[in-house]
Structure 1
């Protein structure tokens, strides 16, 4: 599953991702969170305060908290193909380590930095729909609706077969198949992502 999560506050975001993370850990799935490095302490504290025993899960390798700076925007640029391959390798490694399934959530705030390659965001999001059927994985891409422009959010919605509405995951009626979307990605405006 490739899921789009639109949130208007950190509180709303955590209401969704804490049960998502807890369920994955209880099912012995590999759980990966990707967010800005300067938010790791706050994130881990929030999870701990809500019943996630992260020290044990981090040391066992079942739970990983990665930095956007070392994943999405490694070396100060974003490259859709590079990130796709990195995610694919992560999923293969999790499978080799004995995890039957992986669940991940990534905070997409890094895209607001407008670093080189950020214009490949829609292509990347669409391409994930070619990756997810090959693996037992669920991905939540978390977008702050107060930070991204309405046109960007509308485009992003096209790339996710599932969407979180009112805390519930449902099929996205606006979803466009990845190959159709990727072939038309040049038609997307490449203006600023910020509102």
Structure 2
């Protein structure tokens, strides 16, 4: 039975100790360097390690580790290291379901703790996000949601591998922004970047939100809707433009949440303040915190 995101964290663990990072690379050498560093660190910390491959042959993962002097075969034999595929994890069933995947993280952390490991760490190849797979359009929503719904609650470290050879640059740039940290190569600046706040529940929006960024706004709205806290904030210090449709999408997400305080907005640009004056119906769902 898949546990819901509100499931209790094992008592011996402290929530919020994990890290969610993107890793952008463009060649096999970079891929191998990140892989080996991640696995070495996990073995040294006595953590369980999972690798979810998409286009990479699982045997190649083990060979690469072995070539770097890491006894991956022994780690796999004792159950500390496992290499599976996206089809067995992210894409099991009819496609990608963020809610199901979030539940699976809770199961995996609990099982790892029961086996006596100090924590769980995982690498996921995200190249499937560029293919015509049911639910792939919800990948940004998932990346935004798991900071609050998973990493703030579980002892989990996960690196999302983004191979520039397999994903469009503009898609990579947007997805990388959904991670609190990027350990890979440089990324460009998308029209709209949405990033989780790390000091409080909420999101930071930078750039311009309009018709061309409606998918990113919808993902942000879905993340706001699912955040498991009463108070949620948006930091708009870097936002140059927010159109009425985008504001309505975010306000509707707040309205769908359980009864609680309105969406708090900090550093609201003048256009947003004017929109709120023109459309007072948003006032019950949106509160400017620094008027």
Structure 2 distance, partners of 1:31, 1:14, is 16
Coordinate RMSD, CA, aligned: 2.5
Gaps of 5+ in 1: 168-172, 191-195
Matches within 5 A, 1:145-156: 145-156=164-175
Measured after TM superposition, the shift of residue 25 of structure 1 is: 0.9
Structure 2 distance, partners of 1:155, 1:91, is 28
Structure 2 distance, partners of 1:175, 1:113, is 23
**Secondary structure, in 3 states, of the residue corresponding to 1:175?**
strand
Structure richer in helix, relative to its length? 1
Measured after TM superposition, the shift of residue 113 of structure 1 is: 2.3
Structure 1 distance, partners of 2:31, 2:145, is 24
TM-score, length-scaled by structure 1: 0.83
Asked if 1:75 corresponds to 2:93, the answer is yes
Q: Deviations over 1:7-52 (max 9, x none)?
A: 0012101112202101211221111111037611111111111112
Q: How many residues align?
A: 182
CA distance 1:76–1:52, shift in 2 (3 Å) = farther
Structure 2 distance, partners of 1:176, 1:2, is 11
Contact 2:49 2:81 in 1 (8 A): yes
Matches within 5 A, 1:143-182: 143-165=162-184, 175-177=195-197, 179-180=202-203
Aligned counterpart, 2:215: 188
**Secondary structure, in 3 states, of the residue corresponding to 2:50?**
strand
Higher relative contact order (CA 8 A, sep 6+): 1
Which of 87, 99, 124 is residue 117 of structure 2 equivalent to?
99
Contact 2:42 2:121 in 1 (8 A): yes
Contact 1:3 1:140 in 2 (8 A): yes
Which of 82, 105, 123 is residue 64 of structure 1 equivalent to?
82
CA distance 1:165–1:146, shift in 2 (3 Å) = same
CA distance 1:67–1:165, shift in 2 (3 Å) = closer
TM-score, length-scaled by structure 2: 0.57
* Higher Rg of the two aligned structures: 2
Contact 1:157 1:174 in 2 (8 A): no
CA distance 1:116–1:142, shift in 2 (3 Å) = same
Contact 2:25 2:184 in 1 (8 A): no
Gaps of 5+ in 2: 1-18, 187-192, 218-291
Structure 2 distance, partners of 1:97, 1:120, is 32
Structure 2 distance, partners of 1:129, 1:180, is 10
Measured after TM superposition, the shift of residue 174 of structure 1 is: 7.1
